[in-house]
Chain A
Amino acid sequence: MKNPVSRREFLAGAGAIGSLMLVGCDANAYLPPKVRGGLMGVSDVLTMATQRLMLSGQPLAQEHDVSEITKNFPTWGNTNPRQEDFQRLLSGEFVDWRLPVNGLVNRPISLSLEDLKRLPQRTQITMHICEQGWSAIGQWTGAPLLEVLRAAGGVADDARYVVVDTFDGWYESYDMFDVVHPQTILAYGLNGKDLPLGNGAPVRLRVERACGYKNLKFLKSINVVSSMEGIRGGTGGINSDSNWHWYAGA
């Protein structure tokens, strides 16, 4: 953790403009952790760089009116992880659930659901877009990922990715461009109620501007790293490990 103070200041004190300029100038915002070989890599970089350029002002994803909220928000994929540790927490109504925040943070912490709810809160009515083709509008309430990292004392200078692991064995990484976005939240509420099991209880990630497969459910831990090399498949996520685009804005 070199120069933790400067980075801490960036996360803790700097206003949106300062941090965004820092991210905007970062060439890393235009490349995935690992570029695929061949033409597919060219296509990935074209898509990511073009979109990131158009997003360089960090605009918010469209927020919808309360009247547009989808009743009975659909569930897809895993709706109840069978893993023993998850089932134990579920039967205790997640009272014992803890979210460890480790890696290149200045003060590793472990947050309970109550801790998370005490952090600054954000509620947003946004559209969930699944890469399969469906979409639905939900009102998500949660703690911005930036606030969680702030609670952990900020990140080290060489921090580049936030790696999120889930109880059902998924993982994905997010670069600082998405991490600092105000709508990137750890959501514990959907439509004014606790996040339902099928939608990823107790806490799921909302990364607006990215397809469903980046919006992980059933969060287990957060790890801040400088590189994705050596982490599982090394490409930066369970999806890119099996040859999906790491960048999911398209």
Chain B
Amino acid sequence: MNKGTKTEVTEQLHRYNRNVRICHWINVVAFCYLVVSGVHIFLDFPELYWGKVGFRGYDAVFRLSDWGISWDEAGAMGNRRWGRNYHFLFAWISVINGTIYVGWNLWNKYFHKNLFLGRNELSWQSLKTDFVDHVRLRVSKGASVGRYSGLQKISYLIVIFILSPFMILSGLAQMPAFTAISPELIDLFGGRQTARTLHVICMLWMILFLVVHVVEVFVAGAVNEIRSMITGKYVVPKENAE
């Protein structure tokens, strides 16, 4: 009806607790550094293998040279000293930050209220509706504003409780010290090179999540969304008529 006009402010809600907001932005910085430093390390040896061993000349499952970037070109782009230094530094920051985030929000039941799924949200029909809404970039309105949909909850839970631990473990499984600390961990992944390859695949999965996450922020209104992650205040737009 009054579609062209500015949405009126009807209500503000407090969306994220301080812990979530601080951890979120630390994680933004850490994640960026981890990806960039990881790419630097990778460029110094731009092939991926399956199993325990892998080296130049061995059967690779991925070669950057097949994509038009030679070893020398990749090596010139990557700096593994810088990469290793920052990768381990931000791995620590990320692990400490993530532990505080998960511990704090399990303790104060933030996860129970906001991330864990109710029985009705787990229904096939509700997830299907969610999915269609997301694909059509339809934003939630009215009562459901400020609450995660079932699909969002599942995505966050996967990132927090599956992909992040997987990243840590597949990283540890590449470290020489773990051949003595826990060879079982390396064997669990099917060998050191498999762990390295899965580390990269898991990273790509996380980046896919990040892309969708950022797109959703813009679809839902970047200013409002980003402000709510800084100050906690989220402005609920007046329900528009369809």
Q: Which residues of A contact B (CB under 8 A)?
A: 39-40, 42-43, 46-47, 51, 54-55, 59-62, 64, 68, 70, 74, 126-127, 129-137, 208-211, 242-245, 248-250
Query: Closest 6 interchain pairs by CB?
Result: A249-B177, A133-B45, A62-B183, A134-B55, A43-B89, A74-B55
The residue on A at minimum CB distance from B90 is A43
Decide yes or no whether B85 CB sits under 8 A from chain A.
yes
Q: Which residues of A contact B193 (CB under 8 A)?
A: 135
**Cα A59 to Cα B57 with chains together (Å):** 32
Chain A minimum-CB-distance residue to B44: A132
Give B177's nearest chain A residue, CB to CB: A249
| Number of residues from B at the complex interface, CB < 8 A | 30
Shortest distance in angstroms between B202's beta carbon and chain A's nearest beta carbon?
16
B92 and A211 contact, CB distance less than 8 A:
no
Residues in chain A near residue B53, CB distance under 8 A = 68, 70, 127, 134-137
Q: Within the assembled complex, what's the spacing in Å between the Cα atoms of A248 and B174?
A: 12
- In angstroms, Cα B185 to Cα A54, docked, is 14
Q: Closest CB of chain B to A56's CB: distance in Å?
A: 10
Nearest opposing residue in chain B for A133, CB measure: B45
Q: Contacts A47-B88, A135-B52; is A62 near B186 (CB within 8 Å)?
A: yes
**Residues of chain A lying within 8 A (CB to CB) of residue B41:** 133
A209-B180 contact given A47-B88, A47-B92, A74-B57, CB 8 Å threshold: yes
A-side contacts of B42, CB under 8 Å: 133
Interface residue? B80 (CB, 8 A)? yes
B237 at the interface (CB under 8 A from A): no
Cβ A60 vs Cβ B45 within 8 A:
no
Residue of B nearest to A60 (CB): B180
- Cβ distance B240 to chain A, nearest Cβ, rounded Å: 47
Q: Which of A43, A68, A70 contacts B88 (CB 8 A)?
A: A43
Smallest Cβ distance from B109 to chain A, in angstroms? 30
| Sampled A-B contacts (5; CB under 8 Å) | A40-B85, A62-B183, A135-B192, A208-B176, A210-B176
- Whether B84 is near chain A, meaning CB under 8 Å from some CB there, is yes
B175 touches A137 (CB 8 A): no
B176 touches A55 (CB 8 A): no
**Which of A40, A51, A134, A244 touches B45 (beta carbons < 8 Å)?**
A134
